[in-house]
Chains A and B, each alone.
Chain A
Amino acid sequence: MTAMPFQPIGHTLRLHRFETVAFGLLAVLGVILAFLVAARLDAVGYGVECVLAMREGGASPRGCELKANEFYDIVSREAGLVSALLTFVPFVSALLIGVAVVGREIERGTTRLAWALTPSRLRWLAHRLAPVLVVVAVIGLLMGVAADRLLAATEPGMDPANALAQLGQRGPVLAARAIFVMSIGVVVGAVMGRALPALVVATVIAVVGIAGGSQVHDGILRSEATVIEQAGPGDRYFDQLFVLPGGRLVGWDEIEQHDPPPATFEDTTVWPTLPQVTLGISGTRYGDVQLREIGALAGGTLVALLLTALVVQRRRPG
């Protein structure tokens, strides 16, 4: 009798029914809440003109102050919570599902049955991995889209597609991070063969991996920073520099040599006198910055999954 091609998917999802249903519902809840909060923020009517006027401190359009109070009240009370939900649900769900894929099976001893039945453990691994990979990706993407929408609502005038704000916590990068974290859970679970210790170890590795990766990417972005001629709301600023008469840029550490500070304290309001420029990355680069981060995460995921395949091929079934 020929097996239906979708049966392995069904079996795997049933093995992870609790996690997929629980995190699926949390994802839906997060999306609904994000869109609700975003709609509430939009309804306040605190637009770009109000933001600019309030920032400049001059006379603001009628009602801007009241709107600002209401807007930032919603941002601090509701958007913060929803934003945390959108960030952590993909991370936690990816870890819990990832650890269970191989680790829990080894712990329960079901690999003894499965690995004795299949001439190819890789086939078994593919049957187990593919459906949960899709589940985690969908959860991550849903939350990523919701986080984009929330960002657009909390930062009037900012276009999430051209902004480097909250990089990694929204859009497709969030899904890529979730998949990477899941792959860490999968490989640690496969090595340790016990779900709970693997969860602890995988959490530490994932946190270090994500934080370390962000640091590295930050360093790369810093090295790529250029003078931003016209500041946009989605730009990422790294430094403020001064332009010497010859065109050379110097920082605060050198400015006193080229532009001596005034003798009296009162005169410091007009110092430094040299023209200032901002060093940063334009928000319009978000597309390629995002792609690079996804690429790095995909590479990490691939390495983790290849390691998993190696471990599954060689280890005892528990």
Chain B
Amino acid sequence: MDQAIEAIGLGKRYRRRRWALRDVDVAVPRGSITALVGPNGAGKSTLIKAGVGFERPTAGRLLVDGVDPWRDRGAAIAKVGYVPQSPSLYRELTVNDHVRLAATLRPGFDAHHARRRLEELSLPLDSRADELSGGQQAQVGLALALGTRAPVLLLDEPLASLDPLARREFLHVLVEAVREDGATALLSSHVITDIEQACDRLLVLGGGRKLLDLSIAESIAAHRIVAARAAGDDVVGSFMDVDGATVSLVRAPTTSLVRGRAATLEEVVLGHLAAGRAPRLLELAA
């Protein structure tokens, strides 16, 4: 399957020499909805912003639908629909104004498509942006991104400030639109339960490095949870369970010798994040 987003040895270092991304290889298959998961400072936003040409990679390269966004931002933007972390709407303008604005800024913007999406959600088109709830603003941001009819959608934690119902509604619209248009989406989020139902791939970043890149089904099938802190080559990482007990995420054996219980997606993510944190703690201690 060819790739909609491809990063090869991607690195981004900000001033003060902090690496936000380091040596990241990513391949997001066309037509997939990939969840980009990681703690704060993991490099999720940096990866997404690099995809829109907002960040210049320090090392390696990133291709979005075959285009390097930093070298040819115009061509890359034409292939990308972007939903920023906060909706970033113009508070003085109405929802309808935003659709018109997008049409003036972007040749080929499908204003009818964007309006239809908004009308389906019963969003008042003549309301000013500052009169909308956080969820409605996020929906406007998504409708504008979908109106671009871009083959790649990059969504930078759009669910962060939404209540559960608004999150569910947002994801429903996203999944429906992606399936309908055959687009590819990369969605960064902290909320594992929501993305489990919406996404088909999981990309985990930690400390600027890639920790996991698999389909959701593979991610779950490839791991098990065992009680207590375990040791061995198959152990990914140990973390505290909700009841305070330490559990370990282990790679599921390929043989018939199966130990522990099946892991949830959240546990897969936690195990890999714990594994990603350990080397960093060692680095800090050193």
Q: Which residues on A are within 8 Å of B, measured CB to CB?
A: 1-4, 7-8, 11, 14-15, 17, 108-120, 123-124, 127, 316-317
Please list 5 pairs of residues, one from A and one from B, whose beta carbons are closer than 8 Å in the complex, sorted by A's number: A8-B101, A108-B88, A109-B86, A113-B88, A118-B106
Within 8 A of A (CB), among B225-276: none
B93 and A112 contacting across the interface, CB-CB below 8 Å: no
Whether A316 touches B100, Cβ cut-off 8 Å, given contacts A113-B144, A117-B105, A119-B78, is no
B104 and A119 contacting across the interface, CB-CB below 8 Å: no
Q: How many residues of B contact A (CB 8 A)?
A: 36
What is the minimal beta-carbon distance from B214 to any residue of chain A, in angstroms?
29
B112 and A1 contacting across the interface, CB-CB below 8 Å: yes
State in angstroms the CA–CA spacing of A120 and B106 once bound together.
8
Instruction: Please tell me if B186 contacts chain A, counting CB pairs below 8 Å.
Output: no
What is the minimal beta-carbon distance from A215 to any residue of chain B, in angstroms?
39
Looking at A3, A11, A108, A116, the one whose CB has the most chain B CB atoms below 10 A away is A116
Whether A11 touches B106, Cβ cut-off 8 Å, given contacts A1-B112, A113-B84, is no
B92 and A15 contacting across the interface, CB-CB below 8 Å: yes
What is the minimal beta-carbon distance from B103 to any residue of chain A, in angstroms?
4
A119 and B84 contacting across the interface, CB-CB below 8 Å: no
B74 and A120 contacting across the interface, CB-CB below 8 Å: yes
3 cross-chain pairs, A with B, having the tightest CB-CB distances, nearest first: A116-B82, A118-B105, A119-B74
B105 and A127 contacting across the interface, CB-CB below 8 Å: yes
Question: What B residues does A112 contact at CB under 8 A?
Answer: 54, 82, 84, 88
Looking at B55, B75, B106, the one whose CB has the most chain A CB atoms below 10 A away is B106
Whether A3 touches B92, Cβ cut-off 8 Å, given contacts A109-B86, A115-B54, A117-B144, is no
State in angstroms the CA–CA spacing of A3 and B100 once bound together.
7
How many A-B pairs have beta carbons closer than 8 Å: the answer is 86
Question: What A residues does B148 contact at CB under 8 A?
Answer: 117
What is the minimal beta-carbon distance from A70 to any residue of chain B, in angstroms?
49
B88 and A11 contacting across the interface, CB-CB below 8 Å: no
Question: What A residues does B199 contact at CB under 8 A?
Answer: none
Question: What B residues does A118 contact at CB under 8 A?
Answer: 77, 105-106
B103 and A15 contacting across the interface, CB-CB below 8 Å: no
B105 and A124 contacting across the interface, CB-CB below 8 Å: yes
State in angstroms the CA–CA spacing of A8 and B106 once bound together.
12
Of the residues A11, A110, A127, contact of B89 by C-beta under 8 Å: A110
Smallest CB gap from B103: residue in A: A3
A110 and B103 contacting across the interface, CB-CB below 8 Å: no
Main secondary structure on A side of the interface with B: helix
Smallest CB gap from B102: residue in A: A117
State in angstroms the CA–CA spacing of A1 and B90 once bound together.
22
Smallest CB gap from B108: residue in A: A119
B54 and A317 contacting across the interface, CB-CB below 8 Å: yes
Question: What A residues does B111 contact at CB under 8 A?
Answer: 1, 3
Smallest CB gap from A121: residue in B: B73
Of the residues A14, A114, A117, contact of B92 by C-beta under 8 Å: A14
Of the residues B88, B90, B100, B106, contact of A119 by C-beta under 8 Å: B106
Within 8 A of A (CB), among B69-87: 73-75, 77-78, 80, 82, 84, 86-87
Whether A127 touches B104, Cβ cut-off 8 Å, given contacts A116-B77, A119-B74, is yes
Question: What A residues does B102 contact at CB under 8 A?
Answer: 117
Whether A109 touches B104, Cβ cut-off 8 Å, given contacts A115-B54, A116-B80, A119-B75, is no
What is the minimal beta-carbon distance from B49 to any residue of chain A, in angstroms?
8
What is the minimal beta-carbon distance from B14 to any residue of chain A, in angstroms?
11
Smallest CB gap from A119: residue in B: B74
Instruction: Please tell me if B52 contacts chain A, counting CB pairs below 8 Å.
Output: yes
Of the residues A14, A15, A119, contact of B107 by C-beta under 8 Å: A119
Whether A11 touches B93, Cβ cut-off 8 Å, given contacts A113-B144, A316-B54, is yes
What is the minimal beta-carbon distance from A113 to any residue of chain B, in angstroms?
4
What is the minimal beta-carbon distance from A317 to any residue of chain B, in angstroms?
6
Mark interface residues in B105-119 (1 if CB within 8 Å of A CB, else 0): 111011110000000
Question: What B residues does A11 contact at CB under 8 A?
Answer: 90, 93, 97, 100-101, 104
Question: What B residues does A127 contact at CB under 8 A?
Answer: 104-105
Smallest CB gap from A124: residue in B: B105
Instruction: Please tell me if B38 contacts chain A, counting CB pairs below 8 Å.
Output: no
Of the residues A15, A109, A120, A123, contact of B84 by C-beta under 8 Å: A109
A116 and B52 contacting across the interface, CB-CB below 8 Å: yes
Looking at B74, B92, B104, B141, the one whose CB has the most chain A CB atoms below 10 A away is B104
B103 and A1 contacting across the interface, CB-CB below 8 Å: yes
B82 and A316 contacting across the interface, CB-CB below 8 Å: no
A8 and B104 contacting across the interface, CB-CB below 8 Å: yes
State in angstroms the CA–CA spacing of A93 and B254 once bound together.
72
State in angstroms the CA–CA spacing of A282 and B86 once bound together.
61
Question: What B residues does A124 contact at CB under 8 A?
Answer: 105
Known: A11-B104, A113-B141, A117-B101. 19 other contacts (CB 8 A): A1-B103, A1-B110, A2-B103, A7-B100, A11-B93, A14-B92, A15-B90, A15-B92, A17-B92, A110-B88, A112-B88, A113-B87, A116-B52, A116-B82, A117-B105, A117-B106, A117-B144, A118-B106, A124-B105
Question: What B residues does A123 contact at CB under 8 A?
Answer: 105
Question: What A residues does B91 contact at CB under 8 A?
Answer: 108
What is the minimal beta-carbon distance from A108 to any residue of chain B, in angstroms?
8
